[in-house]
Chains A and B, each alone.
Chain A
Amino acid sequence: MSRGDGRQSGWQGAGLVAITYVYFLIFAQFAFLKRLASLGVADAHLKAVMAAMAIGGILFSLLAPRLSLWPSPTLRLRVGLLASDAAALLSLLPLGLAASVAVSFLIGCGLGLLTVTLATHLRQWTGNRNPLLLAGLGTGAGYLVCNLPPLFTASPDVQASAASLLCLAGICITLLPAPTPLKEAEILPQAAVPFLRVLACFAALVWLDSAAFCIIQNTPALKAGTWQGSVHLGTNGLLHLAAALVSAWLIRRRGLSFVLSAAFLALGFSCLLLLDPDRVLLASLFYPIGVSLYSVALVAYPSLLAPVSSAAERGRQAGWIYAIAGWSGSAMGIGMGQNLGHIPPTFVIAAGAVVLLPGLIRAFSHRTRELGLTAFVVLAAFYVDRVLLPVHGSPQLSQVERGRQVYISEGCIHCHSQYVRPNTADVLMWGPAETIQELRLQHPPLIGNRRQGPDLSQVGARRSALWLRAHFYDPPEVSGASIMPSYAYLFGDERGNDLVAYLEGLQKAGTVEHLVAEMSWRPSASAVAAADASDGERLFQRHCATCHSVDGRTRHAWQASFRRLPPDLRVGPFLDLPLSGPLALRMDRLAQIAKFGIPGTDMPGHEYLSDQQIASISVWLSQHIAQLGLNR
């Protein structure tokens, strides 16, 4: 390979794209706003300052291809970088309102000139080899750098300085010999997409992105779930980079429409997830993917994909895209975020219609048989379901029956059996067993085939309603290391209480005999011999402390609801424990309580623990409680 060939790699193009994105994201959208806040610019003044930036951006986006003062693209790019650099440095000064407006306007002008010039002539710096991949790499690298924790969490001054340095680096890049560009006519092969449709798609996506960004930025709970912590930031950065590279690959393989559709699905989904603070973690996964997917297209379309015949036409298209989709879309999105505080689902649907509908219409126009037959069957099934198979009014279900339906709906059967195998260890743990006749009275029997958790066929005899409710709210806290998900959402309506009522009712006659069997249970001699007090303490902390220590979380959360407040280990009283008499008797009783709980109270059993574990808890408890009892 000759030296000249080495220059053809086109890293300059990727570098310039990355610099532009970093400047825009970390300085114009982020550090400058924080700087304005520290200068006391807020409310109407802030809007005026930001409007100046948008005006500058729109103005120079549209003017850039028409500027005859600097006919050379390289020169125009240097001027754009220089203006951006100057704006970043000026923002470090103690600015008044007028100066802030001026600097903001300068940022917009610099960015307008920089982005449109770079997009119009990108191939001058990427060369002939993989310009699309380089655009993807530059975009992904830009987002990755912005998400690096030292830069992301730095002060506005440091971020502005970094942006300034990067602009200088960009100017240096333009001083290097550039690769040979492709001829103007050489565009990457793509299915023709009308310019106005592309413009509308970009506007919808930028609008969504900006609104989501603004809402996350201004909502502490959302911000905490998306952009806080080094791990999270690093993950975001890597997701951005990976999605950007995938975007470049997909644009080549599947075309621009596919990538814009995929970007909308990811971005729109994350916007809907942001409506629920509990799902913000999931939203933080889809948001960077959607943003990077369309960001690469935003660079690639005007520079590499647009079917234009001249650089001037390319420039004009780039100008309109950045002016309308970029600056105006962004302003509208921020306005929506500030005014509404959320993205209405109807807006997401409307954006989806803009991005997806043309493609769907085109796809379905070749699938009339598929559409027609599917519609016919769907409607026919609807008719059969609603008319031919009428349910004469919904049957009035009891609370227990409704609770059973909740049990079925939530798929509890995938983790819990409801079948005690007779004559096995099941009987003591989960019993007593039911007869087949009793089982067949259930419609359907919910036997299940897997136990990720305990059998529940007699759970009503083993757990109080309070315990069940508390456990549904926070399983790992109430039942040490439980892998069950929280079902707190069921208590937002009646489903939670219905489910508790159903489970409470899961107990059969004959439970008294079973209680007798529990009372006669003792840990085996070998288990007692192998018991270890330190192990018992660990198990106590894991399974019992949440109720039996004074600062236990379950104890605090449900303090007013306990039938009898669980005794604090250091205080008591221990009504169900013989505090006098032989130690062996006390230990046996402790073991029984730990294993099977105390009937008629909120104290649950831990039937699934081994004899040795129960004996260990018993040993540790007996040392502490016995001491207390003797002292008294």
Chain B
Amino acid sequence: MNLNTLDELAPPRQTPHVVASAAWHSLAWLVVANAIGVLVAILLLFPGLNKTLGEWTYGRWMTVHMNLELYGWTSLPLAGFLFKVYGADRGAAANWCRPVLWVWSVALGVGALSWLSGYSSGKLFLDWSGYARVLFPGALITLCLLLALSLIGSRSHSDNATVAAWAAKLIGLVILLVVPFLLYIASSPTNYPAVNPDTGGPTGASQLESSLAIVAILLILPFGLTRRKAGNSRTIAIGWIVLVAECALCVALGRADISHHRPAQYLSLGSLLVWLPLTPAYYAAFDWHSDTRRWRLAFLWWWAALVVTGWVFFLPGVLDHFKFTDGLVGHSFIAMAGFTSSLIIFVMVQLLGEGGWIFNRARSFYLWNGSVIAYVLLMTVAGWREGFDPTFTIVPGMARNLLYALRLLTGAFMFLASLDWFFDASTLLREPGPALVPKYVAQETTA
């Protein structure tokens, strides 16, 4: 299968505001979610302020905060990515991209209001309940329909398109179409994944499974974003072969409720360490926009940190110490604010091309990453202390309050960085289009 780039099917003319709109929506949710993050950090330091919030107390805001980060900030850029891959950002379909983004945002807004109003399934990150549980998957189906229409349109317009690339997109679309239904089913209170009986958390096998899903996304992304460099097929092939092998290992492990003390569990999770050298090598096999360098490095570093800490925190003894403490909150922060955020910013910079400058200001880059590092360190220290003495959190003293005050500060810094990006993204939407056309697209058009 010749998968040089999935972009081959599309006509050359692009509507740049489509990707910028996806970035804008995503950043708007980041600003809101971070503002709520700052609010909950304040509430942990000054719990008396809960009184001023009526029924909208800490627990309800936490649900909103976590879901907005996931379904707003980290998911909407992928809509922009899919628009480009399926050619929805060009021609007549481009007129419907912004409406689809608005549908997504409205559905998420309805979700936020429903969580604040007390509707929740009780499952973390799958809190969809009641009407919102139907509406949000409905928004995802709307996106899929637009992608399907774009795909059909590209088939009729592109005579030279390869069948393989078109088929790959079709398979991708079928998988995407399953997601809304999976989301609906997974939000049901009656389904619950495998449980590690020694901690109540996920088993090694289920962690491996979710990690491999991320690895698969990492391997697919470059094909939709750019071209591969000549002579690097071997590295790319190795990446896919390793993924398949690890998937087989995952299947072999099964989905039973098994303890992390079993060597098979932590050793198989350790197999992810192979991605430490493999991921940078894989990404080096593709041709990236020069503006992506800063965030590409950041995401690769955060990925390495995530893989290593993910494994270390799962080891017997370590997990027993840190379970239910701030230590694992810090680790989750590496995943969301470190790795995922830098990955999607890298993706957006690549998609925006010359418009990617909005994420490349040094001040916001260092403010964000520095704050994430500080946050993780603070939470690790807090978790370490808490692992010895639960009173550290339950009966807050000066040390806990100091750590939480510093955490609030890092949250405020991250909020400022997100505001910086959001304002710049708003500017981008007001600027004329050509500034947003990726350089290589512009070069192609000129040629």
Identify the A interface with B (CB < 8 A). 276, 278-282, 367, 369-370, 372-374, 377-378, 380-382, 384-385, 389, 406-415, 417, 419, 421-424, 429, 436, 439-440, 443-455, 476, 480-487, 489, 608-610, 613
Contact = CB atoms under 8 A, between A and B. Distances in A.
A451 B325 contact: yes
A281 B52 CA distance: 6
A429 B390 contact: yes
8 contacts: A279-B53, A279-B54, A373-B142, A384-B134, A411-B57, A436-B257, A445-B195, A450-B324
B393 A452 contact: yes
A406 B50 CA distance: 18
A414 B63 contact: yes
B54 A449 contact: no
B169 interface: no
Contact of B62 (A374, A406, A414, A445): A414
B291 interface: no
B100 interface: yes
Interface of B: 43-44, 47-55, 57-63, 95-96, 98-100, 102-103, 106-107, 110, 118-124, 130-131, 133-135, 138-139, 142, 189-192, 195, 197-201, 257, 320, 323-326, 328-329, 389-391, 393-396
B55 A444 contact: no
A449 B99 contact: no
A162 B297 CA distance: 63
A385 B103 contact: no
A378 B51 contact: no
B102 A373 contact: yes
Contacts of B121: 408, 444
B124 A413 contact: yes
B60 to A, nearest CB: 5
B201 A411 contact: no
A367 B101 CA distance: 12
A485 B50 contact: yes
B436 to A, nearest CB: 20
Contacts of A609: 391, 395
B122 A444 contact: yes
A486 B59 CA distance: 12
A503 B110 CA distance: 30
The 7 residue pairs across chains A and B that have the minimum distance between CB atoms: A411-B59, A419-B200, A485-B50, A409-B118, A408-B122, A381-B135, A373-B99
B124 to A, nearest CB: 7
Contacts of B57: 410-411, 485, 487
Given A408-B120, A415-B58, A373 B396 contact: no
Contacts of A455: 324
Contacts of B102: 367, 370, 373-374
A24 to B, nearest CB: 30
A384 B138 contact: yes
Contact of A377 (B138, B191, B328, B396): B138
B124 A449 contact: yes
B122 A446 contact: yes
Nearest to A435: B197
Given A374-B99, A444-B189, A452 B44 contact: yes
A385 B197 contact: no
Contact of B131 (A372, A381, A406, A487): A381
Contacts of A378: 106, 110, 135
Nearest to B190: A443
Contacts of A406: 118
Given A374-B102, A421-B323, A454-B390, 16 more contacts: A281-B49, A282-B52, A370-B99, A373-B99, A373-B100, A377-B138, A381-B107, A384-B138, A385-B134, A414-B63, A422-B197, A447-B200, A448-B324, A449-B324, A451-B390, A609-B391
A489 B100 CA distance: 39
Contacts of B394: 451-454, 608
A537 to B, nearest CB: 16
Nearest to B102: A370
Contacts of A382: 131
B47 A485 contact: yes
Given A377-B107, A381-B135, A439-B195, A444 B325 contact: no
A476 B131 CA distance: 36
A451 B328 CA distance: 11
A367 B100 CA distance: 12
A380 B200 contact: no
A308 B199 CA distance: 73
A278 B49 CA distance: 10
Given A421-B320, A449-B201, A608-B390, A414 B59 contact: yes
A369 B142 CA distance: 13
Contacts of A374: 99, 102-103, 106
A445 B198 CA distance: 15
Contacts of B110: 378
Nearest to A276: B54
Contacts of B135: 377-378, 381, 385
A363 to B, nearest CB: 12
Given A377-B135, A408-B120, A412-B59, A421 B54 contact: no
Contacts of B139: 377
Contacts of A423: 198
Nearest to B118: A409
Contacts of A412: 59
Nearest to B60: A411
A613 B62 CA distance: 32
A447 B200 CA distance: 6
Given A373-B142, A483-B47, A417 B391 contact: no
Residue among B106, B320, B390 with the highest chain A CB neighbour number at 10 A:
B390
A535 to B, nearest CB: 13
Given A378-B106, A414-B59, A417-B324, A279 B52 contact: yes
Contacts of B197: 422, 436
B140 to A, nearest CB: 10
B200 A417 contact: yes
A610 B55 contact: no
A443 B195 contact: no
A407 B103 CA distance: 31
A448 B124 CA distance: 8
Contact of B95 (A369, A384, A452): A369
Contact of A372 (B59, B99, B100, B134): B99
Given A449-B201, A485-B50, A411 B63 contact: yes
Nearest to A429: B390
Contacts of B130: 385
Contacts of A276: 54
Contact of B60 (A367, A410, A452, A484): A410
A407 B195 CA distance: 21
Contacts of A447: 195, 200-201
A422 B200 CA distance: 10
B119 A409 contact: yes
A486 B107 CA distance: 31
A245 B124 CA distance: 42
B313 to A, nearest CB: 12
Nearest to A542: B395
A486 B53 CA distance: 11
B332 to A, nearest CB: 8
A485 B51 contact: yes
B44 A483 contact: yes
Contact of B52 (A278, A410, A413, A487): A278
Nearest to B400: A483
Nearest to A415: B59
A276 to B, nearest CB: 6
Contacts of A443: 189-190, 192
A443 B121 CA distance: 9
A365 to B, nearest CB: 15
A542 B325 CA distance: 24
A413 B123 CA distance: 9
Contacts of A485: 43, 47, 50-51, 57-58
A486 B51 contact: yes
A452 B394 CA distance: 6
A486 B57 CA distance: 9
